[in-house]
Structures are given as structure tokens and as C-alpha cells.
Amino acid sequence: MKKSLKTDAVRTSLAEQGLTQKQLAKDLGVTSQAVTNWLQGKDFPRPAKLLKLATALRLSFEELVQTSAKGHPIVAFRKKGNAKTTATHIAKAHGIGMLLKPLVPYLSEIQALRTLITSPSTDYHKLQTAVSQTREHLGVGEQAVLAYEHLIGEFKNSGAVLVPVLWGAKGSHENALHIGLPEEDITFIFLNLDTHLEDFKFWMAHELAHVYTPELSGTDEGEDFADAFAGALLFPQACAEQAYHQAIQQTNETDTIHALLQWAIEHMISLNTVYQKIQQYAQAHELPGLPVKEKSIHTTRNSNHGSLISAALFDPMPPEPKLYIAAYENTFQSDFFNAMKRMIHETGTGPSYIQQVLNTSLQDATALHKELSH
């Protein structure tokens, strides 16, 4: 990757520091001509000189160096509640993406023939068409409950590697993280297992939408489409139609919510998803909406949370490393730890690598490393 200095930033910083080009060259222990060559893009500083240059100018790598975005990871977050995404979150996810690159050659052969949604749209009818075709592709009927297994298998078929993580039910910024590596043509999807059962499938479907629409990854448009697609895939028009006609016959709000809750439980999705999909169905067909306040839906939802996926999978928590590693292959059909094991055996990678790519504690990383080193 050809790199050059951002000359405007260098000149601005020189002026701010009250330094001339000649003084800078002297401080760095190079000739004035060398600095001129760097600024003209004829040459690029060696690592040690680049370090001194950045320090002298108080410029970070991003401020100082012009690089091509080619090959950079593309990241998208499934944020928790109202969590704000900062530059630190993006930098950290980007860093994980860069660290994952050496792992790719150790993964089993990646599926090259993939399903794509070529014209993603949040228009109700177009979305239903996309969802209907997706369900057909997955072998699931219009009104059938979409199971986790359908989604998990489809990730594998779409060149995506699932990375289930234990990031805690509270505190962390995201519940899912999508890291696409364009040059390697692969996507890593981090799913937080410390998530309520009724939300988990929605996030998986959301991430599947990203996999189907790689050109929208990392954009607001991509997030909007992924949300719309996930809800529609899990509770499509045929389900919404049935649920609408049943719910509209109820005589009061409590009974209506109760009816919706039964649909949510049957499909293992949240009450809010059922409610939103029914309302969208009604609007698209110019029918009156359900006489239920959104606030009542949220109140009911918050008092009816299911258990966490992690607890359902690993009880008792936290899982032993062996059990956690086995779940990757057996439950999530993920080659992640197999590849990690191959890499550790072949190259002798240390435990801090696991700590950094899984964004976990050194304690857990060391335990996993020990298990994978056997």
C-alpha cells in the first residue's frame, strides 16, 4: 500500500510549533532534502523517522499519513439502546478487523457463491418480496417460525464467520459487530450471547441483512435496511396479516397485547417486533392501526424479558473454555476457533492475540489459549 504524508497537515503543524523545515530535519537527524522528498511524495520516512516526525508535530497516524482505504475493514455496529458510537469504538473495531486478517488463511474454504440482495429497499412491498424469496431459499414457509438453525446455516453459506462473544448484558457499547474484510472477501460477525432470547434472533437476522447487502455496510442506509429486513424476515406479511385480524377483534388494550405476546412467544421474537410488523402491514394495506399505545408495548416488553442466550446455552455460567469452544463448532457452525487452533499450532501465536480480537479479559484469553494449544 503506497503511503505519503499529508503535506498540508505537516505545514500547519510546523507553523504551530514555530519550526522551519530545516530545524525539523535537524531534530530528526536527516537532511533537509530528505524532508523535501517526503513532502513531495518522492519518498516516505522509515519507521523510526516517522515516529519522530509524528511526535515532533503532535500528529497522529491518521492526521499525518495519507493511505488508501483499499483493504480497510468495514465495520457496522448493532448498538445497545441509546449508546453513542464514538471514534474510539470505530478505531477499536477497525483494529480488530486488521488483526483478524492473518487468521483468514487458517479458515476452511470460504463459500464463494453467495446470495445477494441487489436492490435493497425499505419499501413495504419490495421488502416483502425480498423476504419471501429469502424464506423460500431457506426452505421456510411464509407462516412458519424461522429457527436459529436456518440463520446460522445461511451465515456459513454466505462467507460469514460467526464469533459468539460474552460481552456482558450491561455496559458494553454493542450487541453485535459486523467486520467485513473486502480484500479477503470475508465477514466476521460478533454476536453478544449475553442477550435476551427474544432479541437474539432479531440481531442475527439484522446481521444476515448486512451479509446480503455488502455494498451498504457501514452506512445509515444499510442499518435501516437491516432493521427492516430482520423484522420482516422473522415476522413476514403472512404472519402479520393473521395476527392483525386476530388482534383487531380484541376489545381492550390488555387483551390485544396478550394476543400479540402469544405471537411473539411462538416466533421467539420480541413483542415490539410483532407490534411494529402488524402496524406496518396495516399501513401498507390502508387498514386502521391497532389501538395500542407504543408505550404500553414497551412497558409489557420490559417486564417480560426472557433469559439470556448465554445462560440458556452454558448454564452454569461462565462456561469452561472447552465448552465455549465446542459451542462455536456445534451450535454456531463457526470455524473461528478451529482456525485459531491451526494458527496457534503452526505459528505459535500468543494469548494476547485472542484477548485483542475477542475483546475479552486476559484471564479468559489465557484460558482459551491454553485449551487451543493442546
Provide the minimum distance between the beta carbon of 58 and other proteins in the complex, in angstroms, as a whole number: 5
If one asks whether residue 86 binds other proteins (CB under 8 A), the answer comes out as no
Binding-residue total with other proteins (CB under 8 A): 37
Closest by CA position to 160, among listed 112, 193, 121, 192:
112
List C-alpha distances in Å: 265 to 192, 220, 232, 242, 366: 21, 30, 16, 15, 39
ω into 316 cis (within 30 of 0): yes
Q: Compare residues 120 and 351 and give the one whose CB is closer to other proteins.
A: 351
Provide the minimum distance between the beta carbon of 249 and other proteins in the complex, in angstroms, as a whole number: 55
Give Rg (Cα) of the chain. 25
The binder of other proteins chosen from 162, 191, 343, 358 (CB under 8 A) = 343
Please report, as residue ranges, which positions from 259 to 298 form the binding site for other proteins (by CB under 8 A).
Answer: none
Provide the minimum distance between the beta carbon of 165 and other proteins in the complex, in angstroms, as a whole number: 18
> Mask of contacts with other proteins, 100-119, x by CB under 8 A?
-xx-----------------
Q: Compare residues 61 and 329 and give the one whose CB is closer to other proteins.
A: 61
Q: Compare residues 87 and 112 and give the one whose CB is closer to other proteins.
A: 87
d(CA 105, CA 102): 7
If one asks whether residue 50 binds other proteins (CB under 8 A), the answer comes out as yes
Provide the minimum distance between the beta carbon of 329 and other proteins in the complex, in angstroms, as a whole number: 22
Q: Say if strands 186-192 and 160-165 run parallel, antiparallel, or are unpaired.
A: parallel
If one asks whether residue 52 binds other proteins (CB under 8 A), the answer comes out as yes
The binder of other proteins chosen from 15, 48, 116, 312 (CB under 8 A) = 48
If one asks whether residue 18 binds other proteins (CB under 8 A), the answer comes out as no
If one asks whether residue 348 binds other proteins (CB under 8 A), the answer comes out as yes
The binder of other proteins chosen from 356, 359, 360, 371 (CB under 8 A) = 356
Q: Compare residues 49 and 156 and give the one whose CB is closer to other proteins.
A: 49
Residue pair 117/212 in contact (Cβ under 8 Å)? The answer is yes
If one asks whether residue 1 binds other proteins (CB under 8 A), the answer comes out as yes
Q: For the chain, what's the residue count? A: 374
Enclosing H/E stretch for 171: none
If one asks whether residue 333 binds other proteins (CB under 8 A), the answer comes out as no
Q: Say if strands 65-66 and 74-79 run parallel, antiparallel, or are unpaired.
A: unpaired
d(CA 16, CA 160): 47
If one asks whether residue 36 binds other proteins (CB under 8 A), the answer comes out as no
Taking residue 319's Cβ as centre, other Cβ atoms within 10 Å add up to 17
> What percentage of the chain's residues is helix, strand, coil (to nearest 5)?
60, 10, 35
Residue pair 146/135 in contact (Cβ under 8 Å)? The answer is yes
Provide the minimum distance between the beta carbon of 171 and other proteins in the complex, in angstroms, as a whole number: 13
> Can you say whether residue 92 is alpha, beta or left, with left for phi > 0 and alpha for psi between -120 and 50 degrees?
alpha
Applying CB under 8 A, the residues found at the interface with other proteins are: 1, 47-48, 50-52, 54-62, 64-65, 94-95, 98-99, 101-102, 343, 347-353, 355-356, 361-363, 366
